[in-house]
């Protein structure tokens, strides 16, 4: 019912909203059970405009000190400094997330929501040529002198959330609930320990915070996150009603046969043939075992190795691959079927297969009703937001938060006006148009001020 207001042109937004407020008042008892409309607070425009220079400067500052997953020491110190200066309670010392920072606004209030920003950078050499381009080096999985840069845009995530936190702290009495600012390390993975080389990789990033009990500790009822995205106009926001990003997992299969003379294959067990058959059989899992009406799945064997030379039948073979899905059931089915198919295919050849699954990130699934409420609130707060089924194909550990509570992960476009085929996130030329950042600040504040969920007979749309 607040759609005419939300759709009003930006210049007449406040007037239109006042008009709506009057209508709501006139409607009286019928509308008493409805939740309050998500009207933009009077101070928002002025605050966001006043913060803009500082917001851009903060992003450029953080851009020049990128740090790899679980090593974000300077970044952590800067986040703590800004939150404390704003009078926000700060906590650190989370298990397996030593560089995480959690800020809490209005700890005395209930109905808590979390706003999440990831804080780590990538082991990539930046080639944007920007005056504030990163020259930083770091250590990745023990390798020293690795180029490090914020080529996924987590510098923007931090700058937007810190700015939103500063603004909300100044208006804390008007923020209706407890707001938990989650500055999470290692979204791109742990840069200290290589999880592919250890038997039981330690939890990291969002998963570590979830295992440490973040949700319960702060009473978090919803998580919200924003990711900046190339190939989307600066300032435009898209929100999925369900799956927003895919799951990502890895597998390694080692096949053991029995080496023999290539001229006498009957005297051994051909691991190459068993491996080749396994590659084919793995593809049949997608075509025969998953409900394609439910979503999609991918199994790719990216590396296959076997044998020594032409006249020796291989006694062992190995392969590594990646698994993707956009539905939790499909992911579960793929993870269950891969060991079954690999082991039984090997057995059919008289060989054996050892399968190692490395579960990386689940599917990021938005709560549909909350996504709709969020888009409505974003529009009311002056953001060009819409519901979209766009899935950029990547994966995110926000998915661990989204499994804890109904949550929403939003995409914010950062392409400069006129940009065509802009370099994607993780490209060494990924660029953020700073005009996009203000929308992210507005979106965080809109999420923090989201009206209460409608009652049983109330409708918020």
Query: Interface with Zn ion by CB under 5 A: which residues?
Result: 152
Q: Are strands 236-239 and 384-387 parallel, antiparallel or unpaired?
A: parallel
Q: Could you write out the DSSP letters of every residue in 187-223?
A: TT--SSS-TTTSSSPPP-HHHHHHHTTHHHHHT--EE
**Cα torsion through 339, 345, 348, 353, rounded to 10:** -50
Cα(155)–Cα(72) distance, integer angstroms: 12
Closest by CA position to 220, among listed 210, 208, 228: 210
Least separation, in Å, of the C-beta of 103 and Zn ion? 20
Q: Is the Cβ of residue 218 or residue 401 nearer to Zn ion in the bound state?
A: 401
Q: Which lies closer to Zn ion via its Cβ, residue 62 or residue 152?
A: 152
CB 101 within 8 A of CB 79: yes
Specify the residue, 184 or 326, whose C-beta has the smaller distance to Zn ion.
184
Residues 6+ apart with CB under 8 A from 313: 257, 259, 260, 261, 262, 265, 268, 270, 272, 307
Asked whether the beta carbons of 186 and 97 are under 8 A apart, the reply is: yes
Of the two residues 152 and 447, which places its CB atom closer to Zn ion in the complex? 152
Nearer to Zn ion by Cβ, of 104 and 234: the residue is 234
Smallest distance, Zn ion to C-beta of residue 425, A: 6
Nearest approach, Cβ of residue 298 and Zn ion (Å): 19
**Least Å distance between CB 122 and Zn ion?**
7
* Residue 5 vs 152, nearer CB to Zn ion: 152
Spatial separation of the C-alpha atoms in residues 69 and 204, rounded to whole Å: 9
3-state class percentages of the chain: helix first, strand second, coil last, to nearest 5: 35, 25, 40
Q: CB of residue 411 vs Zn ion: minimum separation in angstroms?
A: 11
Least distance in Å: CB of 250 to Zn ion? 16
236: its two tokens? 């435009």
CB closer to Zn ion, 86 vs 152: 152
Q: In the complex with Zn ion, which residue's Cβ is closer, 117 or 338?
A: 117
CB of 154 to Zn ion, least distance (A): 6
Three-class DSSP category at 270: coil
Report d(CA 108, CA 28) in Å as an integer.
32
Q: Which is nearer to Zn ion, 257 or 392 (CB)?
A: 392
Are 137 and 173 in contact by the 8 Å Cβ rule? The answer is no
Least separation in angstroms between CB 426 and Zn ion: 6
Cα atoms in the 13 Å half-sphere on the side-chain side of 418: 0
For residue 325, which of 355, 353, 356, 285 has the smallest C-alpha distance? 285
**If you compute the radius of gyration of the chain from its CA atoms, what whole number of angstroms results?**
25
Angle between helices 73-85 and 44-63 (to 10 degrees): 160
| Shortest Å, Cβ 81 to Zn ion | 23
CB of residue 279 to Zn ion, shortest distance in Å: 29
Considering the complex, what minimum distance in angstroms separates the CB of residue 396 from Zn ion? Answer: 7
Nearest residue to Zn ion by CB is 152
Nearer of residues 40 and 155 to Zn ion, judged by Cβ = 155
Which of 188/404 has CB closer to Zn ion? 188
Distance between CA 447 and CA 458 in Å, rounded?
Answer: 20
């Amino acid at each position: 019912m607040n759609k005419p207001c939300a759709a009003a042109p930006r210049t007449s937004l406040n007037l239109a909203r006042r008009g709506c407020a009057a209508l709501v008042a006139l409607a009286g008892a019928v509308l008493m059970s409805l939740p309050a409309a998500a009207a933009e607070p009077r101070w928002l425009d002025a605050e966001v405009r006043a913060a803009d220079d500082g917001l851009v400067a903060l992003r450029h500052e953080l851009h020049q000190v990128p740090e790899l997953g679980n090593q974000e020491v300077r970044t952590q110190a800067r986040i703590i400094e800004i939150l404390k200066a704003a009078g926000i309670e700060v906590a650190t010392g989370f298990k397996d997330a030593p560089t995480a920072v959690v800020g809490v606004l209005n700890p005395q209030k209930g109905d808590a929501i979390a706003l999440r920003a990831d804080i780590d950078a990538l082991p990539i050499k930046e080639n944007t040529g920007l005056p504030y381009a990163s020259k930083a080096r770091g250590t990745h999985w023990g390798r020293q002198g690795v180029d490090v840069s914020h080529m996924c845009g987590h510098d923007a995530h931090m700058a937007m959330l810190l700015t939103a936190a500063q603004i909300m702290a100044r208006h804390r009495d008007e923020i209706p609930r407890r707001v938990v600012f989650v500055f999470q390390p290692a979204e791109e993975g742990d840069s200290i320990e290589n999880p592919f080389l250890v038997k039981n990789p330690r939890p990291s990033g969002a998963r570590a915070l979830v295992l440490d009990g973040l949700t319960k500790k702060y009473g978090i009822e919803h998580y919200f996150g924003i990711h900046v995205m190339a190939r989307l106009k600066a300032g435009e926001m898209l929100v999925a009603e369900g799956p927003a990003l895919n799951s990502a997992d890895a597998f390694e299969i080692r096949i053991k046969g029995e080496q023999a003379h290539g001229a006498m294959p009957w005297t051994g067990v051909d691991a190459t043939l068993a491996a080749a058959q396994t590659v084919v059989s793995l593809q049949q899992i997608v075509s025969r075992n998953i409900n394609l009406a439910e979503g999609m799945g991918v199994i790719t064997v990216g590396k296959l190795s076997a044998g020594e030379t032409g006249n020796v039948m291989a006694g062992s073979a190995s392969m590594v691959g990646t698994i993707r899905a956009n539905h939790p059931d499909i992911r579960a089915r793929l993870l269950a079927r891969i060991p079954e198919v690999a082991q039984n295919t090997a057995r059919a050849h008289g060989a054996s297969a050892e399968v190692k699954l490395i579960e990386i990130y689940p599917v990021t699934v938005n709560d549909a009703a909350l996504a709709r409420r969020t888009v409505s609130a974003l529009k009311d707060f002056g953001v060009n937001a819409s519901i979209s089924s766009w899935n950029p194909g990547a994966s995110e550990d926000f998915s661990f938060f989204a499994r804890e509570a109904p949550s929403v992960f939003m995409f914010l476009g950062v392409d400069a006006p006129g940009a065509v085929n802009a370099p994607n996130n993780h490209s060494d030329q990924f660029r953020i148009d700073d005009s996009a950042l203000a929308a992210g600040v507005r979106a965080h504040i809109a999420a923090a001020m989201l009206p209460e969920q409608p009652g049983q007979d109330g409708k918020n749309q």
